[in-house]
Structure 1
Amino acid sequence: MAVNRLHTAELPAVLRESLTESWEAFVQASREAQFPVPSNPDFTTSLLRVWACSDFVAQTCIHDPAVFYGLLDSGDLLADYTSGEYKRKLKRILKGVDDSTVLGQRLRDFRRREMLRIAWRDLAGWASLDEVLHDLSALADTCVSLALDYLGGWAVKRLGSRGKKIKPQLVVLGMGKLGAGELNFSSDIDLIFAYPDAGAEWKRQNTSANEFYLQLGQQLIQVLDNHTEHGFVYRVDMRLRPYGDSGPLAANFDALAEYYQMQGREWERYAMIKARPIAGPGKPARQLMKLLKPFVYRRYLDFSAFESLRNLKEQIVREVERKGMQDNVKLGPGGIREIEFIVQAFQLVRGGRQPLLQQRGGLDILGALAVLGYLPAHVTLQLTEAYQFLRRTENRIQAWADQQAHDLPEDEPGRARLAFSMGFPDWEAFEQVLTVHRQRVQEHFELVFAEPEARVSDAQRDQTPGLSDVWQGTADPADAIAALSAAGYPDAEEALQWLTEFSSGPVTRYLGEQGRQRLDELMPLVLHAAASATSPLPVLKRLGELLEAISGRTTYLSLLLENPMALSQLTQLCAASSWVAAQLTQYPILLDELLDPRTLYDPLDKAGLQGVLDVRLAGIPADDLEQQMDQLRQFKQASVLRVAATDIVAELPVAKVGDHLTYIAETVLERVLQQVLEHLVERHGKPGYLRHGKLCEARFGIVVYGKLGGYELGYGSDLDIVFLHDSSGNEQHTAGPKVLDNSEFFTRV
């Protein structure tokens, strides 16, 4: 039976001959296995389109037609799986399995079947990119999780009666794209094994918990990674664990937490952003993630991440150039990795303060960056479109032979195939769109990761060399005084004396090598910025007090070094107001507000404040009152700083200042009351009372008076408030599991 010409009419000519051979081999294999050859012309056209783009799919259908017909007859090929479908299917397949050899064989067969389905639906255009990435990740999750369940159960049985109380507690973290739920078509899976501290039950065993979990981890890798006549399940990479290949295969939670706290490197923070428990019991998994969170997400802004990721990118660029990988869609210029770096830089810098950034998926974070205003909407849109295009391209490259590849093809059939799979008539049309996406990514990457020197004005660059010698003490006193005088210090001798005392004081005493390096880079810029003030020395001293306050956290030095605009705004505000300088010194977390003059000098009305607060609190668990209160405090301080900055620069009328400060106070009061009520109602139920035989809900309110009531609030004003409730009548109590009298309930409020 020959292929109908109509079926191949849309295919590039260079692909048709090999398809004819594949079709004939498939027809013969189907007849030998007594399967009816598909005759529906629409389906046959789809089949040939898929085969043209994936030799893996074609060869699987030819060599094992039962897999293809099983997918077709069951309806799975045409179906979008519901949540948990992979686990339900694999559990049925593994039922009764009692040794690791059979387990590995069935896992391999299952993986081959489902990869055929995923590739087919992708290449036929029946599945979105989101579905494809989700299915690839869910399939891997299921294979790892159920394999661990079986192996763990058998390991306990081997302990005999001594192991009756042992329940395997090994937690498997999926890293990289698996952790993010965005696995490639043919990707390694990066894993980390960890287990909680051994309980008393291990003391009665002849083996230690460490030996038990080491062996269990080895068995899991063997089942997944070993190549047999049935192929492999997944290539497993364990190099992201502490100490890499030289470290223990499985570590207990305390050892893991201590390692990251004491020795964790920046690239490990970068990697840990996507860590996700994919196998093992839920309670230990949640415990582990709670232990790791402080390492990944710092509670303060961490602009040092830009420098670390910039260095990492430079290493990758050198490797790309050395190996000639410019056509690599993952690591090459404008590739997937650059988008990931942009996304994860913002997560590392701001994720500790912004729960919306504590997600794993790249597309989710790009959306959050637009919502939060950290990147312009058109930038995140371009990066999103580029990411989707590049990920589809990467998957189509890998789907051809089920191999981990990222390079664009160089041969004519390969180029024709890739262009066709991406919906383009020829290679030139595909390459044109690809180039646009990569150029945009590269441009945005360069802007986000620009070297600090590239953001400094020519005037600053011309002035700072001499001031650098002054700061580091390498200039003679006379030359130092001359340099300070030339920079704009009328009292240059006194400025030099202060600078000498400052440089040997607390600001440098406890700095490490990295912190000292950043301070040495920053101080010439500080000296130059202060010199532009009307009274340079007092401003320099105010800046010095701030630097002393933040010197223990070098990330703030990085913030000012990475963002000359922030240093400029800081100098202007410190020159205009000692109160603002004191606020910034006391709450250096407010330095973040100096990054964007558009928001710094634009205090919000009440609706705007409520919207900003909604975003700040989004993603914080409802029961985490401590984090909610932290966000409320930071919101209040940042909002007041905006008013003060605008007051200084634009000379706001006193009435307007009072209005804005009152809006802030009202917004905070309303939100705190809402959160406290929700917390208490959850525990005790709603307060109510009977009046004239009718059940009424007791209400609570806040009455404000004084300056707050008159919209005349000042920067240092207290809030004069009174609490009221309307509970009266009979049966005044809450209606929840832990009943309280209404008077007690409202007292707690």
Structure 2
Amino acid sequence: MTPGRRSSTFTRLLRHGFTDPSAAEHLLDGPELTPVRNDPVLLEALGATADPDLALHGLVRLLEAQPDPTAHRGLLDTLIAAKPLRDRLLGVLGASAALADHLARHPRDWEALVTYEPRDLHPGVEEFERGLAEAVDPVTLRVAYRRCLLSIAARDVNGTIDVAQTAAELADLATATLRAALAIARTAAPEDAALCRLAVIAMGKCGGHELNYVSDVDVIFVGEARDGADEGKAIQAATRLASHMMRICSETTVEGSIWPVDANLRPEGRNGPLVRTLSSHLAYYQRWAKTWEFQALLKARPVAGDVELGENYMAAVSPLVWKAAERDNFVADVQKMRRRVVENIPVTEIERELKLGPGGLRDVEFAVQLLQLVHGRADASLRSGTTLDALQALATGGYVGRVDAGQLEDAYRFLRSMEHRIQLYRLRRTHLVPEEETDLRRLGRSLGLRAEPLTELTREWKRHSGVVRRLHEKLFYRPLLDAVAQLAPGEARLSPEAARERLVALGYADPAAALRHLEALASGVTRKAAIQRTLLPVLLGWFADSADPDAGLLNFRKVSDALGKTPWYLRLLRDEGAAAENLARVLSAGRLAPDLLMRAPEAVALLGDGESRGGGGGLAPRGRTHLEQEILAAVGRAPTAEQGVTAARGVRRRELFRTAAADIVDSYGTEANPAEPDQGALVDRVGGAVSDLTAATLAGTLRAVVREGWGDTLPTRFAIIGMGRFGGHELGYGSDADVLFVHEPQDGVDEREASEAANKVVSEMRRLLQIPSADPPLLIDADLRPEGKSGPLVRTLKSYEAYYRRWSLVWEAQALLRAEPVAGDADLGRRFIELIDPLRYPAEGLGDDAVREIRRLKARMESERLPRGADPKLHTKLGPGGLSDVEWTVQLYQMRHGWAEPGLRTTRTREALAAACAERLISGEDAAILDEAWVLATRVRNAVMLVRGRAGDTFPTDARELAAVGRYLGYGTGHAGDMLDAYRRTTRRARAVMEELFYGA
């Protein structure tokens, strides 16, 4: 070969799309390939394949495998003369290395592609059965199966059939293969076949007539005894036949394998019997089946074995499928299953996952199935197991918008085509988009993207995936808006009954009211209504994910009515990232946060100012210094004390909303930031924020009272000491503020005058803070003062000193463990702490008598203070393993060892517990158990206040309120029982630790 001619061939190959023309030229140099090298039609046909290099290599192997020169020449002549065969054979060779391997092993199988009659273009089960008829064992069945697969692939890669027809043919071939495998199994065990009737029910993609090239074939087996046979023996025989059939299809031989037969969708999964009678199936589905099992039965279809038994099975289970949407938490269960699938994808693969990842095929399938199950009860036209047929029926019936359905169908077809071509290359079960450039180039060209295959493939894949991400939930909610907005007359839309049906499935208890809210929000041609129609499909999904969708939608309407004319409001929700989702979570999480927001709707702006996590964001808690400065400035501008306290309450309302909203958002999580919160950190943040806010509010109230009554100078120094949870930085949303009041006359002021002034301050502060208001109350509780309710509300520092020196009881010293100055004269507060330190951290620790007294008081409290009728095991404060158990245990260690261990000298429970562990006074395991119980009990109390809008120490009895508490604690809808079990388990462990550490049991 001359250099010039070689250069010419090289150039021609390069022009025809070969990526390695040198290697191709070397292959074509052989004399047996001269016809290929010299025939421009063959070179052009090779260049038209997905991978010309792969196609040429496969053709060389096929030619070399021909048994003699005559066969070799006959293949070449046929290729040159017959364009249909040329396109089909070379198309397969350029797309599938696995089928090229098959042709190299079975060099006459190319003849299966010669016939090109119209009746052969769309074979069904019967044609495939004829193609498998000669198979008598697993090996010959595999060969025959691959031969049939070859013909499907040839029609597919040449565009003779579309992706839906390809999937249907693959399902029909699977059906024929299952029948052939069952026949082989029956022939091998005629005595078993004589005992039983066995029906094979296809599930999943095979049942839905939408199978992949390589996929598990999901099945369920139904068995019955033949007349006169013992049922137990018959089911054993059926099980042997079913097992043998599965092995025939699944096992690997010299010819490879066909595909795994998977029976794990059967009742009880892999733990259940492989074969059941029809009555056993029914009993399971009626009593035990989960929502996803009915969803799976959407695609059930008898395919092999006893036809009558298979039809009886379908007639029995189908009515149960169409009642599934009536189950409690139906939509939540389906969506939770979808989320679980995504969560199980390795992080390194999620962006390449074509089937299971966000925006993948499974999103389309789940959305369509959800709608089928909701509306298929009343509309039999929706009861198709095939995704595209069901989607078309949903569009025709007005259950989804036609434009949305069309976009979703285009995306599904493209993604399924990608999946098919990826699997066809090696005939391996995979849904991952390849990473190698060569593989991506072949994949793009196989889909008709020839100009820039890699760039075009990536662009189209991301575009279609983005469509699915955008539509898979919108598909469920958008038609609800179309049903009420009525902006497109003449187009099919949801009937009022179908709209109510869908809302009920979403968990709305009052669908008529929900439709009224949607109509009020989304009807009309204003810009406001247009933006609402954009927002609501997504918001409805977030409301449905809560325990009370009705409240979420109602609250959203109220906020929108209050702020709808404010220019920034809808723009914030539309443009500010997580703002809309944060608002939806807050509005549907209970009463407290929405009530706060309704009193100050402009606080919605906090939801869009950065993320809730981390410093500086709109929901990040503000420190005490900043809060106090703002409140004192507001009080200073107010003309009267009452107006000053009103201003302080306004700041408190906004900051309580900020804290509650951050707590809800971080507990529920968002799409961009799923909830995996540090429970202890959330508790600490809420406790610190509410305590700081209470301290700042008291400081502002004190300033207002002093300024109105005495101007700038009070006759006596005055300090407020936080006690209990307040002093411990552990206030909840509904906690009272336990305090002590201490004063000290200014120099030259008479003690009586000073005392009168101090008492007037306390009295006026309490009056102002108790003025009726829609805000959560801020109650001052001074009952921990010396002599309790019988003693004076305020004392001088000297009076406290005299009392504690002469009369103090051990419980009072214990109460002082959490004393901390929170407002007023800082120097006086410091000196009060210096006064009480020797009392609460006694030198050399507690004596035995004091320890016994503390234990006696604790036992008495347990027996006397628990409310009548309350379940002790679920009482967060006084129940076993609850807050009191943990706190008294920690406080006992503080009083016994605080004099020697500085770390124990803290007002904060968790900090003191950690110090006791660090000093090895309490083991790490015991400390962790106590900490977990304390955090959980505190979270429950916070949840109850958020949900009910009023404080409580036990779980709600109302089902919706209980579910809302569960959602806050991370339990999905319908799992309140799991939450209560977990609470009892956690507190039971804590009680055991407490009894050992506190009582010495």
The two structures share one fold, judged by TM-score above 0.5: yes
Question: Deviations 1:154-184 (Å, cap 9, x if unpaired)?
Answer: 534468xxx5xx4x42111111100101000
The question of whether the paired residues in 2 share the 8 Å contact of 1:33 and 1:65 is answered with: no
**Structure 1 residues 470 and 236: CA distance shift in structure 2, 3 A:** same
Change (3 A) 1:15 1:142: closer
> Which residue pairs with 2:204 in the alignment?
176
1:185 aligns with 2:213: yes
CA change 1:475–1:245 in 2 (3 A) is: same
Question: Cα deviations across residues 397-430 of structure 1 (Å, max 9, x unaligned)?
Answer: 1111111111112112101100010000111112
Equivalence for 1:65: 107
Contact 1:51 1:57 in 2 (8 A): yes
- Residue 320 of structure 1 and its aligned partner are, at CA, apart by 2.5
Amino acid at match of 2:126: E
Change over 3 Å in CA distance of 1:317–1:147 after alignment to 2: closer
Choose 431-440 or 34-43, whichever is displaced more: 34-43
1:567-619 Cα deviation digits (max 9, x unpaired): xxxxxxxxxxxxxxxxxxxxxxxxxxxxxxxxxxxxxxxxxxxxxxxxxxxxx
Aligned counterparts of 2:251 and 2:444: Cα–Cα separation in 1: 34
Alpha-carbon shift at residue 150 of structure 1 (Å): 4.6
Task: State the 1:245 CA deviation.
Answer: 1.9
**Judging changes above 3 Å, is the alpha-carbon distance between structure 1 residues 202 and 8 closer, same or farther for their aligned structure 2 residues?**
same
AA paired with 2:460? V
Give the aligned partner of residue 143 of structure 2. Answer: 109
RMSD after superposition: 4.4
TM-score, normalising length: structure 2: 0.44
Cα displacement string for residues 180-226 of structure 1 (whole angstroms, at most 9, x for unaligned residues): 01000111111111124x366113x9x71221111111111122212
Structure 1 position 466, deviation (Å): 7.0
Say whether the 8 Å CA contact 2:88–2:154 is kept in structure 1.
no
One-letter amino acid of the structure 2 residue matched with residue 68 of structure 1: W
Q: 1:302·1:350 contact (CA, 8 Å) conserved in 2?
A: no
Amino acid at match of 2:543: P
Greater relative CO, 1 or 2 (CA 8 Å, sep 6+): 1
Query: In the alignment, what sits opposite 1:617?
Result: none
Q: 2:463 aligns with which of 430, 436, 439?
A: 436
Q: 1:29 maps to what in 2?
A: 65
Among candidates 304, 312, 315, match of residue 279 of structure 1 = 304
Aligned pair in 2 of structure 1 residues 281, 17: CA closer, same or farther (>3 Å)?
closer
Code of the residue aligned with 1:307 in structure 2: it is A
Aligned to 2:120: 79
Cα distance, 1:315 vs structure 2: 1.7
Q: 2:229 aligned with 1:202, yes or no?
A: yes
Identity percentage of aligned residues: 25
* Alpha carbons 1:466, 1:483 under 8 Å: kept: no
The aligned counterpart of 1:56 is 98
For residues 23 and 277 of structure 1, the distance between their equivalents in structure 2, rounded to whole angstroms, comes to 40
Question: Which residue is equivalent to 1:121?
Answer: 155
1:135 paired with 2:169, answer: yes
- Name the CA distance, whole Å, in 2 between partners of 1:463 and 1:307: 18
Q: How does 1:261-660 map to 2 (within 5 A)?
A: 261-298=286-323, 301=326, 304-425=329-450, 426-447=453-474, 448=476, 450-452=541-543, 456=553, 458=556, 459=558, 467=591, 486=774
Correspondence 1:205-224 to 2 at 5 A: 208-224=233-249
1:429-484 superposed Cα distances (whole Å, 9 cap, x missing partner): 1221221111010001243473217874555667777736999xx9799xxxx999
Q: CA deviation at 1:243?
A: 2.0
Q: Is the 8 A contact 2:138 2:249 kept in 1?
A: yes
> In 2, distance between residues paired with 1:156 and 1:296?
36
* Partner deviation per Cα, 1:299-333 (whole Å, 9 max, x = no partner): 76558332122212222222225342311211122
Corresponding letter in the other structure for 1:427: L
SS in 1 for 2:222: strand
Q: Distance in 2 between matches of 1:237 and 1:46?
A: 32
CA distance, structure 1, for counterparts of residue 436 and residue 264 of structure 2: 34
Secondary structure in structure 2 of the residue aligned to 1:400? helix
Alpha-carbon contact 2:50-2:91 (below 8 Å) kept: no
Q: Secondary structure at the match of 1:56?
A: helix
* 1:599 match: none
Deviation of 1:348 after TM superposition, in Å, equals: 2.4
Letter in 1 for 2:229: W
Residue identity matched to 2:361: I
Give the secondary structure class of the aligned counterpart of 2:80: coil
Matches of 1:350 and 1:424 in 2, distance apart? 39
The residue identity in structure 1 corresponding to 2:81 is N
- Taking a change above 3 Å as real, the CA distance of residues 434 and 213 of structure 1, as seen in their structure-2 partners, is same
One-letter code aligned to 1:147: A
Label 1:146 to 1:92 Cα distance change in 2 as closer, same or farther (>3 A).
closer
Q: State the 1:377 CA deviation.
A: 0.7
Q: Measure the CA separation in 1 of the matches of 2:589 and 2:259.
A: 55
Q: What's the CA shift for 1:83? A: 4.0
- 1:323 and 1:374, CA in 2 relative to 1: closer, same or farther beyond 3 A? same
State the distance in 2 between where 1:78 and 1:48 align: 22
Report what 1:39 is aligned to: 80
> Closer, same or farther in 2 for the Cα pair 1:465/1:311, shift >3 Å?
closer
Structure 2 distance, partners of 1:221, 1:338, is 30
Instruction: Confirm or deny: 8 A CA contact 2:198 2:221 kept in the other structure.
Output: yes
Mind listing any 5+ residue stretches in structure 2 that lack a counterpart? 1-32, 477-537, 546-551, 560-582, 596-732, 737-769, 776-942, 950-957, 968-1001
Match of 2:937 in 1: none
Distance 1:25 1:296, change over 3 A: same
Residues 16 and 356 of structure 1: is their aligned pair in 2 closer, same or farther, counting only changes over 3 Å?
closer
Consecutive unaligned residues of structure 1, counting only runs of 5 or more, are: 95-101, 488-520, 528-547, 559-749
Give the whole-Å Cα distance in 1 for the aligned partners of 2:124 and 2:104. Answer: 30
Task: Work out the CA distance in 2 between the residues paired with 1:353 and 1:300.
Answer: 11
1:56–1:399: 8 Å Cα contact kept in structure 2? yes
Partner of 1:11: 47
TM-score, with normalisation over the residues of structure 1? 0.58
Residues 1:483 and 1:282: Cα distance change in structure 2 (over 3 Å): farther
Q: For the residues of structure 1 that align with 2:202 and 2:275, how far apart are their CA atoms?
A: 14
Contact persistence 2:223–2:278 (CA under 8 A): yes
For residues 84 and 323 of structure 1, do their structure 2 counterparts lie closer, same or farther at Cα, with a shift above 3 Å needed?
A: same
Q: Counterpart amino acid of 1:24?
A: V
CA distance in 2, matches of 1:14, 1:87: 27
Counterparts of 1:463 and 1:275, CA distance in 2? 40
- CA distance, structure 2, for counterparts of residue 194 and residue 52 of structure 1: 42
Secondary structure in 1 matching 2:221: strand
Note if contact 2:50-2:445 (Cα within 8 Å) is conserved in structure 1. no
- Range 122-131 or range 361-370, more displaced: 122-131
Distance 1:158 1:329, change over 3 A: closer
CA 1:255–1:41 in 2, change beyond 3 Å: closer, same or farther?
A: closer
Deviation at 1:372, TM superposition (A): 1.9
CA distance in 2, matches of 1:329, 1:466: 38
| Residues 328, 408 of structure 1: 8 Å contact kept | yes
State how 1:648-727 maps to structure 2 within 5 Å: none
